[in-house]
Chain A
Amino acid sequence: MNTSAVARLEWRRLIVRPLAWVLAAITLAWLAWNFTLLMGTFLASQMQRAALPDSPGFTDLVAVPLLAQLVQLGFMVVPLLTMSVIAGERRSGTLPLLFAAGVTASRIVLGKYLAVLGWLLLWLLLTLAMPLALAHLVNLDWGKLAAATLGLILTLAALAALGIACSTFASHPAIAAAAALVITLALWYVNLGAQMAGINGGAINWLAMSSHLQPMLRGLVSTTDIVWFVLLIAVSLTLATQRLSAERERG
């Protein structure tokens, strides 16, 4: 009950603040513009692709690249969305009110996480609506699109968990946003050096977020990749919960 009350409170705060609306408007306009560009390229290359056997279709050339752009936007959007979730409450002095209402640290973190996740899923749904609107006109690869969508959901869920963990540790929302961005980029590019050196396996590649999302964007879903995202979410939320519990202990 407490978790849903916290989620509802956070959701309400999220939708009455202009930041979430501005972020949604700018990013969706950007994605819509890119969607038209991708469609233009797709239509222009239709004749060439018709001559090739097993040529890439609408899903490979429009839907998945659009979703890949959403991930890149997510690197900026999620830290901005999550920065105030705990750090903002701490600064305005409202965090003790939640403790005093008998809400445990884990329920506070989970409730706030669910609210942010709800916003991100809505954002993903609105982006997905663009390629889906043409589903009756083009030949969609539903399996590949489902795999890519799963990858996107897991990535956004992981970014949200990271952002909330940063917001829990940071004293100021801006520091939380910067920390979340740096950690996200570090996780994304951690294997870049190894790849440039021609190393394509090993622990460093396993650590990189990109190496777990890319297969799903290509339509390959593996348990290892799913477990990686789930682990990242669990570790981030656990750290956030422990930090918040410690804060209550310390005062």
Chain B
Amino acid sequence: MTANTRSSAPVLQLDHLTRRRAGRRAVEDVNLQLQRGQVLGLLGVNGAGKSTTLSMVAGALRPDSGTIQLNGEDFLEYPELASRLIGWLPERAPLWPELTVCEHLDAHGRLRGFKAKALRDARTAIIERLELQPLAHRLAGVLSQGQRQRLGLACALLHRPALLVLDEPANALDPVQVAALRSVIREQAASGTAVILSTHLLTEVTAVCDRVAILHEGTLRHDGLVHGNDHAALERTFFDIAMHGNASTARAA
């Protein structure tokens, strides 16, 4: 497995990724590359295929065809790569309601093969970074939606993944929490982690992303750089694709 690893390889490479769901093509022929430290915003209307794409990238769903490479290694052949390379925060952060915040982090650490000492250190670090100290011994079942998102993010970051997959992480967060989330994403990118961020919010993309990819009806219709705060250009591209299926009438964002 490691013999195939190339240090210069992109963190994530999707080739011709295709997946059917409920009898229709949810994702079709998606090609994408993501380098270390890049933050990719994945945009699209509801049902565009964002969550399906992210589920496949996170290893929770297998594609019907196409390949996923993580650091140059075939992820479909070695699904165990997920345990060390990927941190995933699904939409609505699924948690075990009967476990405390600390127990969640411990469980995620053990599932990823952490030894006791390393787990303790990683848990302490992430609890401090995401300011979860007051919640550490609280049951997940009684957390607010924003607190659940923070715990989900902590679980995704615990093992310092090479690729962070965030599915609409700003949902249900207040403006202060959104700002904190942006800060964490920028910090992760600065440390070399590649980030994919699925969102409905164009402001989210212009605020933290280097690149933007727009999915429509399961296919990738746009993949380009985000230029500073050119929110209007991105908006035109997005609405052109959402309403007409292509970005031909709009300037590239």
Contacts and interface: CB of A to CB of B under 8 A. Distances in A.
Q: What DSSP secondary structure best describes chain A's contact surface? A: helix
Interface residues of B, number: 33
A102 B58 contact: no
A238 interface: no
A94 B58 CA distance: 14
A8, A93, A99: which has the most chain B beta carbons within 10 Å? A99
How many A residues touch the partner, as a band? 20 to 34
Interface stretch (A9-17, A37-45, A58-66, A216-224): A9-17
A120 interface: no
Contacts of B160: none
B114 to A, nearest CB: 9
Contacts, number: 87
A27 to B, nearest CB: 21
Contacts of B84: 102
Contacts of B83: 2, 101-103
Nearest to B90: A96
A6 B99 CA distance: 14
Contacts of B59: 99-100, 102
Contacts of B19: 251
A96 B25 CA distance: 21
A2 B88 CA distance: 18
Interface of B: 19, 21, 52, 55, 58-62, 79-84, 86, 88, 90, 92, 94-99, 103, 107-108, 110-113, 155
A8 B96 CA distance: 14
A137 interface: no
Given A16-B98, A251-B55, A93 B92 contact: yes
A203 to B, nearest CB: 39
Contacts of A4: 110
Contacts of B86: 100
Contacts of A93: 90, 92, 94
Contacts of B81: 102
Nearest to B21: A251
A5 interface: yes
A98 B96 contact: no
Given A101-B108, A102-B79, A96 B98 contact: no
A99 B79 CA distance: 9
Nearest to A14: B98
